[in-house]
Each structure stands twice: as C-alpha cells, then as structure tokens.
Amino acid sequence: MSIDQVKVAIRDVADFPKPGIVFKDITPVLQDASVFRMANDLFYERYRNQGIDKVAGIDARGFIFGSVLADRLGCGFIPIRKKGKLPFDAHEVSYDLEYGSATLELHVDATGHGDRVVVIDDLLATGGTAAATVELLNKLECNVMEVAFLVELAFLGGREKLGDVAAWAPVVY
C-alpha cells in the first residue's frame, strides 16, 4: 500500500461547510481498514524512535489518529478540547477561524515540564487551531516536538502560524 492510496481515499465535498469551500473528507480513509492502518502506520513510523512522552490530539478527528499513535508508542494521550468539554481545571486559548472564532482547552495537569509532545490532527488548513494548541501546550512548559497532520492544504499557508514548531503531513494539496 502507498500514500497514494490514502490520498485517493480522501473525498472532496464541494460547498461544505459553506459555499466556495471544498472540504477534504477523511471518512473513507477511516472506513477502509487497510487504508486506515496505512494512515496510522505513517504516523507511527515517523515518531516511533523519537522518545515521545505524550501525544496531543485536537478535537475531534485528531483524537482518532492521536489515540492510536499514543497506544502504539506506549505513551499517554492528551485531548485538546473545545471550550466547555473538560471536567477539571483547564487552560484555554481563543483564536480566529476562517469563518468565526473558537476556544480550545487543556487540563492544567495534562503533561509535565519538559515532556516531549507531538500534536496530531487530521488536516492543516489556515493553522489557527494548531497554533492555539501549541500555545496551550507551551503553558505547561512541555516540548512540542512537531505538529502532524494526515493532510495539508499548503495553498492556505497554515505552517506560517506555527512559528518555530515544525509541521509534517504526508498528503499535501
């Protein structure tokens, strides 16, 4: 199996969530066991020898790939949630989206000082959500090693919002 099989499985949905946007739907990747395994193998092969202490997954599709990666690496998983979804004391960061604003939260005890953390999400678009996630994790003084995505929409320039934190994505449009 190749990365091309993962890319072919990603479906374009026109005019979602609003007119003029072409949504990259990863549902077909999730529905096909061999393609889903390949996508997860890509993340695992990249991070298996990097001494990762925690994997942070961004709500909600980052939970899918992030929790699988954390299990394979034998490390903890950190859920980065939308505001109001965490039951314990949390840090929060608000940020602007392409069509609105949002707030993310993370438990204050989610990770420790110096922990090596990789952030996982399904798609990098304009980079606002990923940058807010890095800002949250920096509040806990961990080392964000990289922010990884299955798909990157490179033409939107999301990497620029991540500053010095490296981004990686095997499928690039």
SS3 track for 44-112? HHHHCCCCCCEEEEECCHHHHHHHHHHHHHCCEEEEEEECCCCCCCEEEEEEEECCEEEEEEEECCCCC
The count of other CB atoms within 10 Å of the CB of residue 122 is 24
The β-bridge relationship of strands 167-168 and 143-152 is: parallel
The answer to whether residue 61 is catalytic is yes
The answer to whether residue 37 is catalytic is no
Q: What is the pTM of this model?
A: 0.95
Instruction: Please identify which of the residues 11, 45, 48, 98 carries the catalytic annotation.
Output: 98
CA distance 82 to 93: 10
* pLDDT at res. 152: 98
Instruction: Please identify which of the residues 61, 81, 152, 159 carries the catalytic annotation.
Output: 61
* pLDDT at res. 1: 55
CA 8 centroid distance within chain: 20
* Average pLDDT per consecutive 10 residues, the chain (173 residues; last block may be shorter): 89 94 96 97 98 98 98 98 96 87 96 96 96 97 98 96 95 96
Classify burial at 94, counting beta carbons within 10 Å of its beta carbon; exposed 0-12, middle 13-18, buried 19 or more. Answer: exposed
CATH class of 51-172: alpha beta
